[in-house]
Amino acid sequence: MKKPIVSLAVAAGLLVSTAPAAIYAKPLAVQSQVKHPGFDHKVVNNLNVENTYNHIRYLSQTPRVAGTPDEENAVRYVKEQFESYGYKTEIQEFTFIGYTPPSKIELKVAGFDNLKPDSFTYSVNGDINGELVLAGLGTKEELAGKDLTGKIALIERGSISFGEKVINASEAGAAGVIIYNNAEGSLNGTLGEMDKRYVPVLSLSKAEGEALAAVVKKGGVTANLKIEGADAGERTSHNVIATKPATNKNKAKDGAILMGAHHDSVPGAPGANDDASGTASVLELARVFKDIPTDTELRFITFGAEELGLLGSEHYVSTLTQEEARKIIGYFNMDMVGSKDAGDLSIKTVDGNPNIVSQLSQASSKRLNGLPTPLEEGGRSDHVPFFEAGIPSASFIHTPTEPWYHTPEDTLDKISKEKLLDVAEIVGTAVYSLAHPDNQGPKTVKTPKAAKPQDRHEQNIK
């Protein structure tokens, strides 16, 4: 069955300009004086960006790596906030194979005092003493008929994957592996996935590896290779889901509008912008919508393990029955929505084409800011699995990205309240334009007359 609500939206001419346009920042002081048309004020007047900011303050105290106690703490916080607003909240658990890097690595070779080895993701622990042997590129052909039992294979990078090199050496009997770079710089790679055949493996730079190889060629060189504290295995991450049923059951329309963000971060990054900003915005929107009647179901979701490959949103979408997926009118994703140091706001759809989410958002940004937020093509976040399931979705992000992206500097002091408020207003009013009581559907959501940005500016000054 087709989604009539979407085709209606297109038929109703919701399309607004997708031409890039600069959005000027609105001073907070000006915000409260601005009159918002119709239903918008219900959302705009209730948003309090101090709440959003305080959620980011709490969440960005530590990195929130999926599968760690820090993620669990964030999940508990999000759940408690949703429940404090009165929402029925569900925690959806899912598992994935994760890896904790080693706490200690060591490589000792007589005559080489200053080796600086690195580790590979998915390498196993070990403490090996063995003779070093040259093993070329570590291909099956090169190792055919060789007995490396108990030895440490010295292998050059190139031709096949790191994981294949380790498996080939291990199958020839090697107790350990060293892979050295074939280009300048350190080598810090991944074996790709967990594998029972792996033996401990460390990396060296090109210069270190070549110097070692020149000595090993002559024979009789032994090494001690140590890896401690690495741990590959099953981990648990979580999605947190708060549901607001349609207020008036008699008028309820058979649809749900979803808003979401990811609560996890990359290791070492407090993720104030990526994506405590989105998570905090979801919480503040949930608080605002709690007391606003809607004829459409609303769902607020924070996803886990986005940084590991959109795992939480993929899991969520995979659990939907066909009927449940069909019920979802659209998904609004907020990922990196508050950086002072990033560029202007943009709306990303996976294929770059407008859909009901981008159209409603462009219409609301035009009402609020005088110009529609530009629509661009872009994936890399939790709107992708929804798109792949045929559910209209879009992601909000400021581009270009701030220099602190995925670094320890992604902290609260880099957050702009103006930017946070702008996105929450756009998403909140877009959602409400569709969900508000007695809305007969997207047909009634008209693209407002194009207001020039200076009109609103003049109005504010008066």
| Shortest Å, Cβ 457 to Zn ion | 32
Residue with tokens 């004020």: 41
DSSP H helical ranges for 231-310: 277-290
Kindly determine how many residues on this chain lie close enough to bind ligand BES according to the rule CB under 6 A: 13
Binding mask 366-405 for ligand BES (x = CB under 6 A): --------------xx---------------x---x---x
Distance (Å, whole) CA 83 – CA 50? 19
Residue with tokens 């919480």: 283
Among the listed ranges 182-190, 248-256, 302-310, 442-450, the one in contact with ligand BES (CB under 6 A) is: 302-310
| Residue 190 DSSP one-character state | B
Helix (H) or strand (E) holding 178: strand 176-180
In terms of CB distance, is 86 or 400 closer to ligand BES? 400
Q: The tokens of 132 are what?
A: 């070093």
C-alpha distance across the termini of the chain, in Å:
52
Closest CA to 102 of 194, 212, 257, 232: 232
Among 274, 284, 295, 425, indicate the residue that binds ligand BES (CB under 6 A). 274
Among 71, 156, 208, 274, indicate the residue that binds Zn ion (CB under 5 A). 274
Closest CA to 396 of 371, 418, 422: 422
Binding mask 289-328 for Zn ion (x = CB under 5 A): ----------------------------------------
- Residues 6 or more apart whose CB falls under 8 angstroms from that of 13 comprise 447
Among 107, 310, 347, 431, indicate the residue that binds ligand BES (CB under 6 A). 310
| Shortest Å, Cβ 308 to ligand BES | 6
Q: In what order do the strands lie in the sheet with 231-244?
A: 88-100, 231-244, 297-303, 256-262, 328-334, 393-399, 344-349, 375-377
In terms of CB distance, is 74 or 167 closer to Zn ion? 74
**Choosing among Zn ion, ligand BES, none, which partner's interface includes residue 355 (Cβ < 5 to 8 Å by kind)?**
none
Among the listed ranges 155-163, 231-239, 303-311, 325-333, the one in contact with ligand BES (CB under 6 A) is: 303-311
Among 40, 295, 314, 335, indicate the residue that binds ligand BES (CB under 6 A). 335
- Helices and strands per DSSP (H, E), number in the chain: 15, 15
| Shortest Å, Cβ 371 to ligand BES | 22
| Shortest Å, Cβ 336 to ligand BES | 5
- Residues 6 or more apart whose CB falls under 8 angstroms from that of 190 comprise 120, 121, 122, 162
CA within 13 Å, CB half, 369: 28
Can you tell me whether residue 179 is helix, strand or coil?
strand
| Shortest Å, Cβ 192 to ligand BES | 15
**Are 237 and 264 in contact, with CB atoms under 8 Å apart?**
yes
Task: Annotate 20-58 with b (16+ C-beta within 10 A) or e (fewer).
Answer: ebebeebeeeebeeeebeebbebbbebbebebbbebbee
Among the listed ranges 74-82, 186-194, 251-259, 304-312, the one in contact with ligand BES (CB under 6 A) is: 304-312
Among 307, 402, 410, 422, indicate the residue that binds ligand BES (CB under 6 A). 307
In terms of CB distance, is 224 or 401 closer to ligand BES? 401
Q: Which residue's Cβ has the minimum distance to ligand BES? A: 380
Rounded to 10°, the helix 356-369/4-11 angle is: 50
In terms of CB distance, is 297 or 402 closer to Zn ion? 402
**Choosing among Zn ion, ligand BES, none, which partner's interface includes residue 309 (Cβ < 5 to 8 Å by kind)?**
ligand BES
Beta-bridged to residue 180, according to DSSP, are 156, 204
In terms of CB distance, is 156 or 275 closer to Zn ion? 275
Q: The tokens of 447 are what?
A: 């693209």
**Choosing among Zn ion, ligand BES, none, which partner's interface includes residue 284 (Cβ < 5 to 8 Å by kind)?**
none
| Shortest Å, Cβ 262 to ligand BES | 6
- Determine if 402 is a binding residue for Zn ion (CB under 5 A): no
Residue 117 identity: P
Among the listed ranges 13-21, 133-141, 249-257, 307-315, the one in contact with ligand BES (CB under 6 A) is: 307-315
Its sign, for the CA torsion 84, 339, 348, 364, is positive
Residues binding ligand BES (CB under 6 A): 274-275, 306-307, 309-310, 335-336, 380-381, 397, 401, 405
Residues binding Zn ion (CB under 5 A): 274-275, 335
